[in-house]
Structure 1
């Protein structure tokens, strides 16, 4: 597994740039989520991911469906959480060994790639909702694509990814990453 920690900070900055742009009620390409729902999802799972990166236990007392985290000050909370994720997965050794996410133990590099994927994929979802482009270097998009391909079958079985969307092999790296996760890169909204 590869340590992609150097890709996190720029991806996080671009994610935060687009996160504040769309109206909370705007639809997203992420199935089942409007912007408020997608932000709630991110705010719910971010502490789990950060704790996994720090090798600390974490649990919520409520489910994602029962949480309402997009309240006054949500963007400040998202900024702090994003910084905590970057810090956790930029620490020496964060991508080595095993980490626990909820009740599952997996390679820490898989969790780190999940964080990078959250920034890029959900960043794209939010950018589409706002009608703006997401800037993503090819190296970052390729790391997200490789992770999506490696986890694809399992992620589709769990309902995390939709069916793969065919994308030409010579398409930009971000479009190939999106297609691997079931997102149609041609979708404008």
Structure 2
């Protein structure tokens, strides 16, 4: 799979998930214990400019204040996903170093992999919160599993991931990704 299509492929599924979230479900819990649906959507919009900036090699701080979901949040998130996919389609986005919301340089392929994982894991969080089961293609999940496995310990040290949830090696790739990030694939 072409590296520069990974974000777009993850974003396509996330966009479909967004369309299934009814406004009446914004207070529902998600598998990500610190967020209900509203807070998770706000989190995605809050970090959105930084993730787009990373593709462009720009150190863009996250939004300075909480995101207000009284406007058309679904359209705003869809627009963000389009911008994110476009920015990461540029092969230069995956080369050299970039920034992730601050002045510290990070390898661009590492950040790109983190963006893909963010879309897949939080997409699953949103889908499960509203009773749906999302699907990404196996090539994308295989790459994301490799990226996530390589950085999971660091993610836990930084507080990005919870303690690993044991998942069988024979489990589907998505379940193994979720387990690495501290999520229980069997979350109701």
Question: Is this a same-fold pair by TM over 0.5?
Answer: yes
Q: 1:57 to 1:33 in 2, by over 3 A?
A: same
CA distance in 1, matches of 2:174, 2:91: 28
Aligned residue number for residue 86 of structure 1? 85
Aligned residue number for residue 70 of structure 2? 71
Segments of 5+ residues of structure 2 without an aligned counterpart are none
For these two proteins, the number of residue pairs brought into alignment is 184
Shift of 1:75: 1.2
Q: 1:7 to 1:68 in 2, by over 3 A?
A: closer
Contact 1:11–1:120 under 8 Å retained in 2: yes
CA distance in 2, matches of 1:124, 1:61: 24
TM-score by length of 1: 0.91
CA distance in 2, matches of 1:171, 1:184: 12
SS at 1:93's partner residue? helix
CA distance in 2, matches of 1:4, 1:61: 28
SS at 2:94's partner residue? coil
Segments of 5+ residues of structure 1 without an aligned counterpart are none
CA distance in 2, matches of 1:178, 1:11: 15
Shift of 1:8: 2.3
Contact 1:27–1:35 under 8 Å retained in 2: yes
Shift of 1:56: 2.1
Q: 1:98 to 1:3 in 2, by over 3 A?
A: farther
CA distance in 1, matches of 2:136, 2:37: 20
Deviations along 1:40-98, one digit per CA (max 9) or x if unpaired, are: 10001010010111112323562xxx413322111111111111111111112210100
Q: 1:61 to 1:12 in 2, by over 3 A?
A: closer
Bigger mean CA offset, 101-110 vs 44-53: 101-110
CA-based RMSD? 1.6
Deviations along 1:73-124, one digit per CA (max 9) or x if unpaired, are: 1111111111111111111221010001212210111111111111110000
